Amino acid sequence: MFILDIETLGIESDCAILSVALIHFEPANQPTYKDLLDEACFVKLNAKDQVDRLDRTVCQDTLEWWKKIHPYIRQVSFDPSPDDLLAEDGISILKKYIAKYPDSDKKTFWTRGSLDQMAMDSLCVKLDIKPLAGYNMYRDVRTAIDCFSGSTNGYCTVDHPTFQRAEVIKHHPVHDCALDAMMLMYWKEN
């Protein structure tokens, strides 16, 4: 299985994507939170290039939201850096990561909601690149967690002896992926 999280400049499928995290995990291997963090692939993309060259959109409300986020998280995903990758280069890195795993084209891709899949697929189409996964390979984390745990908000308690909720850095795409994977594997009924 894979779990994907993106940070964006909007909530539409054609929005600029700031960063992408992707983690491969196998529930049978019982990974820890640290294992998941160590396994992650992370790319930070050049949002200005996406807007200027690829006509990706920016939502003013989302820009305002980013101004209220902790400076560390803004640095991770939002603040421009000379190391930011062109979208096609970032996607190439993600595809190489995916290709490391046998039968990767048959593995489920988990996301929190539908925006991540729609925005990534839309960006790939704009670049004339095959998407990361087939459309039917995506599943929604929130729905699964609510069904399994009895939650109504897409979150649940993680029942794992080494997991510490305080270690999760909210809105950091790698941490968001790892938390969702932990909840999928080690959910506790609410």
Domain ranges of the chain: 2-140
pLDDT band for position 185 (cuts 50, 70, 90):
very high
Q: Cα–Cα distance between 9 and 128 in angstroms, integer?
A: 21
Q: Domain 2-140 falls in which CATH fold? A: Nucleotidyltransferase; domain 5 (3.30.420)
Per-residue pLDDT, 129: 97
pLDDT at residue 148 is higher than 80: yes
Of all residues in the chain, what percent carry a pLDDT higher than 70? 100
Mean pLDDT on 75-85: 97
Q: Give the mean pLDDT of the chain.
A: 97
Q: Cα–Cα distance between 169 and 5 in angstroms, integer?
A: 13
Confidence (pTM) = 0.96
Q: Cα–Cα distance between 104 and 2 in angstroms, integer?
A: 9
pLDDT band for position 188 (cuts 50, 70, 90):
confident
Per-residue pLDDT, 80: 97
Per-residue pLDDT, 189: 79
